[in-house]
Amino acid sequence: MPRLKVNERESGQRLDRFLKRTLPRMPMGHIFKLIRTRKVRVNGKRAAAGRLLQAGDEVLLHISEQQFASERRVVERRASSLDFEVRYEDEDLLVVSKPPFLPVHPGAGHPDNSLIDQVHAYLEVARAGDDLRPALVHRLDRDTSGLLLIGKNYAAVRRLGDMFKQGRIAKYYLALCRGVPRPPRGTWEFAVARRDDAGRPRGKAPAAGRTSYRVASRRQLHDQGRVVCQVSLLVLRLHTGRTHQIRSHLLQAGHPLGGDRRYGDREFNRLLTRRFDLRRQFLHAYRLRLEHPLSGKPLELVDPYPDDLQVMTRALHLGIPPA
């Protein structure tokens, strides 16, 4: 019968979640049945699903070695390319720069080669026997570029999740919007109402969101020899993590995000496409500040503009501002 030893990085997990990570192909219902029927023992004794495991604990499974091997096998999705760039890496943490147009997880219309598939291929972890497959601890929209945090083990993922909840990870974005917000520095607190591709309201009732902003640069936008409008490069910090929060807040503030097809202004978007070949929203997660989740070492990472924004940033002389 399989015997599993809990290591330091797995310490603090619930028993049921530890088993699910160990046996990814086994349905949760079967895992609960094993626990309920006393086919799982911790240090020789019966244990509840919610028991928190400690380093050194021994988990005994009353199943065959053949079944254990079968349930532990991971079904690997394909990664046909590695499109991200590594900005920081150690044994616990990976920080990557996600390019635009790459979804972070598989979904409709993109069943494989997502960012997380590529990360797994890069780290060569899609094998049976891994304690925990590396996991994203936050997300970016498909058309948003920039920095993403990935925990390489359970301890790092758990600690990063706690740090996000406590507001101890600062995420900064660069956004180009129409007009100039007044005052030039402030905080928006609006409900975040999501929209579908046609711009119609969708999903659940709006949830409150909080975003700090600062006008880093302002420029006049010319077309055919005349000034069409002013634009601003904003530094934005999220204090809550609602889906589409920045895009919704910019719209409600009266300064729609350039290139945003759901929350933006069509005429403004057409102008940016014609002038600068902008094919997506101008939103880039450019800076992260945090303490290392395990060592406590201060980290500050900055990501330069991706290639597809270079035409506009050079034409408008938009550098990388401080946070």
> What percent of the chain stands above pLDDT 90?
70
Return d(Cα 33, Cα 40) in angstroms, integer.
10
d(CA 294, CA 207): 32
**Residues recognised as catalytic:** 141
Which helix (H) or strand (E) segment holds residue 208: the answer is: strand 207-223
State the CATH architecture for 170-315: 2-Layer Sandwich (3.30)
Query: What does pTM read for this prediction?
Result: 0.78
Report pLDDT digits (tens) over 227-282. Answer: 999 999 999 999 998 989 999 999 999 999 999 999 999 999 999 999 999 999 99
| Homologous superfamily (CATH) for 85-165 | Pseudouridine synthase (3.30.2350.10)
**CB contact at 8 A, 119 and 84:** yes
Query: What are the boundaries of each domain within the chain?
Result: 3-72, 85-165, 170-315
Q: Which residues pair with 150 in a beta bridge?
A: 94, 136
* Measured CA distances, 205 to 201, 202, 243, 320 (Å): 10, 9, 13, 36
Q: Tens digits of per-residue pLDDT, 1-48?
A: 899 999 887 888 899 988 988 887 788 889 999 999 999 999 999 999
* Residue in 262, 232, 237 with CA at minimum distance from that of residue 247: 262
Q: In CATH terms, are 85-165 and 170-315 the same topology?
A: yes
DSSP-derived pairing of the beta strands 283-291 and 145-151: parallel
Return the CATH fold of 3-72.
3.10.290
Strand partners, 110: 107
State the amino acid at position 140 in one-letter form.
L
For residues 44 and 58, give the distance between their C-alpha atoms in angstroms, rounded to a whole number.
8
Comparing 257 with 117, which gets the higher pLDDT?
A: 257
Alpha helices in 166-318 (DSSP H): 245-252, 266-276, 310-315
